Amino acid sequence: MTATKGLEGIVAAESSISSIIDGVLTYRGYNIDDLAEQAEFEEVAYLLWHGSLPNREQLDQLHKQLSDSAKLPDGLISQMKLYPKEMNTMAALRSAVSSLALYDPEADDMSREANERKAVLLQAQLPSIVAAIARIKSGQEPVAPKEGVSIAENFLYMLTGEAPEEIAVKAFNQALVLHADHELNASTFAARVTVATLSDIYSGVTSAIGALKGPLHGGANEAVANMLYEIGSLDETDGYIQKKLDNRDKIMGFGHRVYKNGDPRAKHLQKMSRELCELNNDTSMYDMSVRIEELVTGQKGLKPNVDFYSASVYTQLGIEREVFTPIFAISRVSGWTAHILEQYENNRIIRPRAEYTGPANQRYIPVDLR
Ligand code: ACO
């Protein structure tokens, strides 16, 4: 038995949800480029869960279900208010989502119908939780969700308490579409491993949030923003990045296990970043990002991934850095829950082997004789 570090190249599951073939990402066979340009996030969530795009009636019904489910249990809000103010927002999200199960009498109902309902509930409630955490952390009261608006609009509204501009809703919707699913990424794999023991959907999503938090995965978008703030200006960019490259330090937002010729999502976020910076009459963050890309791609051949330009997109939307990774979760919960439903449909416990590298033939010596 020989281990493959990081399971690189190992095909660990069959899935009909999303594919990465020759650098092209599709959701259920639809090219991500088409969906990013044209689809509403709710259509994409429906597509991931059901395998086909919704017709008008199905989409209207989903909007209603999401709207009806977006309000958080009062007990959960009270609980979140007790979290320490210096909380890590992903740790808070992980705790809150785990607690959601306590408020759901069907949490352990394993029927397909109940799990589909819980997938919609999780999709509806994650944006409300993230917005509430952000507000509580900054000493503000959470804002209740609005009825009859999209997830993108509702989230931006709940974050600020004000109706967002149309361009912000459009950009945010596109970011949600681009982050919705990504084959067997680390957090999705974590979700599938958890529910393959026939544990519940809340446990699966909680595991996924834990995996997403790390800076090698979803946590990279916040790390990119921290880097941009640390660099501060275009003038300082070359010196800062060159030092990192010379030290062989990791540059956040670059590289990918699967895409070696570029992440197909990055170009959409780059375009959005440029447009929003121009609209805000301050292209410094975009200019710095482009210069970083020139240096890192030029010298290391590494291309930006989904996290690189999303950092400047969210900054231009006026969102605090610590909410960036939770935003990833707001979108990816659609993919996680689709994968969880798929795992339940054709389940076998996921239990690989390890290549043992420890000592052999040890003899037990009683504690007082050691
Ligand atoms: N900066 C500098 N060097 C890098 C980077 C980077 N961002 N990414 C990879 N490398 C280097 C590695 O050090 C390695 O060099 P070596 O052969 O000299 O040791 C080489 O490129 C190959 O990289 P791997 O480590 O094999 O890449 P792996 O597939 O294991 O990891 C990962 C992929 C985690 C994305 C990595 O590229 C990375 O850490 N990137 C920065 C963090 C990041 O942006 N994560 C978000 C990924 S996208 C997402 O999850 C949403």
Per-residue model confidence as pLDDT tens digits over 14-32:
999 999 999 999 999 999 9
Residues of the chain with CATH 1.10.580.10: 13-213+332-345
Residue nearest to atom 25 of ligand 1 (CA): 257
Q: Which of 63, 256, 268, 339 is catalytic?
A: 256
User: How confident is the prediction for the chain on average, in pLDDT?
Assistant: 97
Please give the distance, rounded to the nearest whole angstrom, from the Cα atom of residue 257 to the centre of ligand 1.
7
User: What was the pLDDT predicted at 178?
Assistant: 98
Please give the distance, rounded to the nearest whole angstrom, from the Cα atom of residue 143 to the centre of ligand 1.
38
Which amino acids bring their CB within 6 angstroms of ligand 1? Answer: 6, 216-218, 220, 250-257, 300, 302, 305-307
Q: Is 68 a catalytic residue?
A: no
User: What was the pLDDT predicted at 1?
Assistant: 83
User: What was the pLDDT predicted at 36?
Assistant: 98
User: What was the pLDDT predicted at 267?
Assistant: 97
User: What was the pLDDT predicted at 182?
Assistant: 98
User: What was the pLDDT predicted at 235?
Assistant: 97
Pair of tokens at residue 234: 């275009």
Q: Is 179 a catalytic residue?
A: no
Please identify every stretch of the chain with a pLDDT value under 70, giving residue numbers as ranges: none
* CA Rg value for the chain: 21
Contact criterion met (CB below 8 Å) for 53 and 47? yes
Please give the distance, rounded to the nearest whole angstrom, from the Cα atom of residue 325 to the centre of ligand 1.
18
Burial of 108 (0-12, 13-18, 19+ CB in 10 A): middle
User: What was the pLDDT predicted at 366?
Assistant: 98
Residue nearest to atom 12 of ligand 1 (CA): 250
Residues of the chain with CATH 1.10.230.10: 220-316
**Which atom of ligand 1 is closest in space to residue 328's alpha carbon?**
51
Alpha-carbon gap, residue 126 to 326, rounded angstroms: 9
ipTM above 0.95, yes or no: yes
- Sheet with 24-27, strands from edge to edge, namely 18-21, 24-27, 30-31
| Tally of residues, the chain | 370
Among 90, 185, 305, 325, name the best residue to mutate to test ligand 1's pocket (greatest count of ligand atoms within 8 A of Cβ): 305
User: What was the pLDDT predicted at 355?
Assistant: 96
For the domain made up of 13-213+332-345, the CATH class stated in words is mainly alpha
Contact criterion met (CB below 8 Å) for 69 and 125? yes
User: What was the pLDDT predicted at 289?
Assistant: 97
Among 182, 302, 307, name the best residue to mutate to test ligand 1's pocket (greatest count of ligand atoms within 8 A of Cβ): 302
State if pTM tops 0.95.
yes
Alpha-carbon gap, residue 173 to 171, rounded angstroms: 5
How many Cα atoms within 13 Å fall on the side-chain side of residue 366? Answer: 2
User: What was the pLDDT predicted at 197?
Assistant: 98
Residue nearest to atom 45 of ligand 1 (CA): 216
* Residue 343, H or E segment: helix 324-345
Please give the distance, rounded to the nearest whole angstrom, from the Cα atom of residue 39 to the centre of ligand 1.
31
Architecture of domain 220-316: Orthogonal Bundle (1.10)
Among 256, 261, 296, name the best residue to mutate to test ligand 1's pocket (greatest count of ligand atoms within 8 A of Cβ): 256
